[in-house]
Structure 1
Amino acid sequence: MRIALLGTGFGQAHAAAYAARGDVEVVMFGRNPAKTAEAADRFGFASSTDMDRAFEDDFDLVDICLPLPLHAEYTLRALAAGKHALVELPLAQTMDDARRVAEAAESSSRHVFVDMFERFIPANRALFDAVRAGTYGRLEQLTLRNQTAHLWPGVSLGLRVLPLEAMHSDLDIITRTLGRPERVEVATVARDGSSAAVEAVFRFDGALARASVSSLMPMAWGARGGYTATFSEGVLESVSTMGFDGRPSGTVTAYTAGGVGELEVEPADQYATMIDHVLACLRGEAVNEIAPASVLDALQLTLDVEQQINGSVVR
C-alpha cells in the first residue's frame, strides 16, 4: 500500500508507526527540502517537496499532518483525486468545513479517517465498554485530566489553542459516553502566551463531566492524565503518564462494593493501533470507527469551549 504522508512535524508520530510495518511504502512530503529529507531519512522513506504529487501519483492513502487550517481543504482534495484520506485531529477549524468533509466522505467510495487516537487507548476502551455494557450501572460523573510540560519544542500550548490542540480528544470521550451537554461552564488561567490551563464543566440530565487541561507543568513532570468515572455501582479510575514518544503507560482500577481490582488492559501504542485500524479498513477487514461523521459532536463541543475562551463566534 502506497502512502503519501504530508507534514514533517506531528507527521513523525505517524511515520514511526509506518516504519515499523513491512506492508507499506511511504513518501514524506514537506515544504522545507532539508527538513523534509532529514525527517524522511530517519524513517527510511523517500521525500518530496512537490505536494501536488500526493494527489497525482498512485498513492492509496493521503495522510494529512499539516496545520489545522489545511485539514479540510486537503482532505477534500484527496477525495476529489480518488484517494483515501487520514487527517490529523481536529478534522476542521469550523463546523461548516467539518460537515462539508463528512458529507463528501459519506457520498464517496473512498474512506476518510480522523486521527481520534485516544479512542484506541486501552484504558479509554475499557471505559467505553463499561458504559455500553452497563458493567457498573449508569455513568453519573466523569472527570478527565490532562497536564503536560512543553515536551514538543516550538509548539505553543497557550490559551488560544488549548481547546483544539489539547482538549479535543478528551471532549470526544465525553460525547461518546454522555452525549452533548445541556450547559458548558469554562474557567481559565494564563501564565503567558504559550502556557495556560482550562477547566470546563459540562452539565447533563442526571450527570456531570469535567475536563481539565494544563500546560503549566515543569519539564520534569512530563505529561500525565487519566480519568475518574463514577457510576451508580462503582468507579473506574485511569492513571497514565507519557513522555516524548507519545506512548502512555498506566493502569485502570475498578472500585465496587466487592472491593478493589486492577483491570487487565493490553499495552498499546495508540498511534500504531490507529494506523492498524486504518489499514485494516482499507483491506476490507474492519469497519471505520473514526469516520468524519463520528467526530462532529466532539468538534462542536470543542468549538463551544473555544468560543467561551476566545470570544469568537465559531459554528
Structure 2
Amino acid sequence: MKIALLGTGFGQAHAAVYAARDDVEVVMFGRDPDKTAKAAAQFGFDYSTSMDTAFEDASFDLVDICLPVPLHADYVLRALDAGKHALVELPLADNLADAQRVAEAADRSDRQVFVDMFERFIPANQALVEAVREGAYGRLEQLTLWNRMAPLWPGASLGLTALPLEAMHSDMDIVARTLGLPQGIEVATVARDDDSACIEATLTYPDAFVRDTVSSLMPMPWGARGGYTATFTGGVLEATSTMSFDGKPTGTVTAYTADGVHELALASADQYSAMIDHVLAVLRGGADNQIAPASVLDALRLTLDIDQAVKRSR
C-alpha cells in the first residue's frame, strides 16, 4: 500500500509506525525542502514538497493528513475527490460545520476516511468503555479524567487557545462514548503564558458528572502523566499512566468492588501502532471502520463547546 504522509511535525509519529512495517511504501510531503528532506531521511522515506502530487498521483492509496487543524477538512475532501482513502489527525476540523461536511462526504463515498482517535486504542480506555457498555460495575455516576504534561514537544504551544482541541479532545471522546452530551459545562482556567496553561472542565448530567483537568504547567522531568477515576454504583475503576515524548504510555487499571481490589489484565498496546494497524486492516477488508468521521462528531461538538467556554472565561 502506498501512502502520502502530509506533514513533518506530528507526522513523524505516524512515520515512526510506518517505518517499522514492511507492507507499506511512504512518501513524506512538506512545504520546507530542508525540513522535509531531514524528516524523510530519518525514516528512510522518499519526500516531496509538491502537495498536489499526493492527490494527483494515481499510485497513492491513502493520504495521511498531519497538517495544521484548519486544513484538515479541506484536505480530506480533496482526497475523497481524488479517489483516495484518507487518515486525518485529530481533530477532524476546527468547527462542526466542516466536520459534518466531511462526515457526509465520507458516507457518500466508496473511499474510507479515518480520524486518528488514538485514545480508542489505549487498553485502559477500552476497559472503561466496555465496563459502561456491559454494566460490569453498575451505572457510571462520576468520572474524573486528568492529564498533566511538560513541554515535551518543541515548538508546540499548549496554551489556553490550544489545549481544548489539542489536548482535551481525546478525553471528550471518552466522555461522549460513556455518558453522551452533558446538560451543562463550566470551566476554570489559569495561564502562565501563551504556551503553558491549565483548564478544568466540569460537565453535568441528570445522574452523573464529569471533571476533566488538562495542564501543560509541569516541569520537564515530570514527562506526561494521566488517568481517570470512574465511580460506578457497584465499584470504582482507577487508571494511571505515564508517557514520554514518544507517545507510548504505560499504566494500570485497578478495580475496587465489595469483593476486594484487583488489577485488570490489559493487553499491551501502542495506541498509534494499533490505530494504523486498524486503518490498514479496514482497507484490506479485515475490519469495520471504528474511527469514521460520523463517530467523532459528538466528541468534537463537546470539545468545541469547551473551547468556547474557555474563550468566554478569558
Kindly provide the CA deviation profile for residues 247-274 of structure 1, in whole angstroms up to 9, marking residues without a partner as x.
0000000000000000010121100000
Distance, in Å, in 2 between the alignment partners of 1:126 and 1:309 is: 30
Return the offset for 1:63.
Answer: 0.1
Which one-letter code corresponds to 1:180 in the other structure? L
Distance, in Å, in 2 between the alignment partners of 1:38 and 1:192 is: 31
Residue number in structure 2 paired with 1:153 = 154
What TM-score do the two structures reach when normalised by structure 1? 0.98
Which one-letter code corresponds to 2:291 in the other structure? I
Kindly provide the CA deviation profile for residues 11-60 of structure 1, in whole angstroms up to 9, marking residues without a partner as x.
00000111111100000000011111111111111100011010011200
Kindly provide the CA deviation profile for residues 217-247 of structure 1, in whole angstroms up to 9, marking residues without a partner as x.
0001100001001110000000000001110
Residue number in structure 1 paired with 2:34 = 34
Kindly provide the CA deviation profile for residues 95-146 of structure 1, in whole angstroms up to 9, marking residues without a partner as x.
1100000000000000000000000000000111111111101111111000
Residue 51 of structure 2 aligns to a residue whose secondary structure is coil
Shift >3 Å, 4+ stretches: none
1:58-77 mapped onto 2 (5 Å cutoff): 58-77=59-78
Which one-letter code corresponds to 1:152 in the other structure? W
Return the offset for 1:205.
Answer: 1.2
Return the offset for 1:161.
Answer: 1.1
Distance, in Å, in 2 between the alignment partners of 1:200 and 1:309 is: 9
Return the offset for 1:160.
Answer: 1.0
Distance, in Å, in 2 between the alignment partners of 1:308 and 1:200 is: 9
What TM-score do the two structures reach when normalised by structure 2? 0.98
Kindly provide the CA deviation profile for residues 268-307 of structure 1, in whole angstroms up to 9, marking residues without a partner as x.
1100000000000000110000000000001011110111
Distance, in Å, in 2 between the alignment partners of 1:110 and 1:149 is: 38
Residue number in structure 1 paired with 2:110 = 109
Residue number in structure 1 paired with 2:21 = 21
Distance, in Å, in 1 between the alignment partners of 2:103 and 2:4 is: 21
Which one-letter code corresponds to 2:24 in the other structure? V
Q: Any stretches of 5+ residues in structure 1 without a counterpart?
A: none
Q: Any stretches of 5+ residues in structure 2 without a counterpart?
A: none
Distance, in Å, in 1 between the alignment partners of 2:226 and 2:154 is: 20
Kindly provide the CA deviation profile for residues 152-183 of structure 1, in whole angstroms up to 9, marking residues without a partner as x.
01111001111001100001000000000010
Matched, 1:132 2:118: no
Which one-letter code corresponds to 2:114 in the other structure? F
Residue number in structure 1 paired with 2:142 = 141
Distance, in Å, in 1 between the alignment partners of 2:312 and 2:30 is: 33
Residue number in structure 2 paired with 1:94 = 95
Distance, in Å, in 2 between the alignment partners of 1:179 and 1:310 is: 23
For this pair of structures, how many residues does the alignment match?
Answer: 312
Residue number in structure 1 paired with 2:262 = 261
Distance, in Å, in 2 between the alignment partners of 1:150 and 1:54 is: 32
Distance, in Å, in 2 between the alignment partners of 1:144 and 1:289 is: 23
Residue 8 of structure 2 aligns to a residue whose secondary structure is coil
Return the offset for 1:311.
Answer: 3.4
Residue 311 of structure 1 aligns to a residue whose secondary structure is helix
Which one-letter code corresponds to 2:64 in the other structure? D
Residue 193 of structure 2 aligns to a residue whose secondary structure is coil
Distance, in Å, in 1 between the alignment partners of 2:227 and 2:151 is: 18
Over the matched positions of the two proteins, sequence identity in percent amounts to 72
Residue number in structure 2 paired with 1:121 = 122
Which one-letter code corresponds to 2:22 in the other structure? G
CA RMSD of aligned residues (A): 0.8
1:182-261 mapped onto 2 (5 Å cutoff): 182-261=183-262
Residue 160 of structure 2 aligns to a residue whose secondary structure is coil
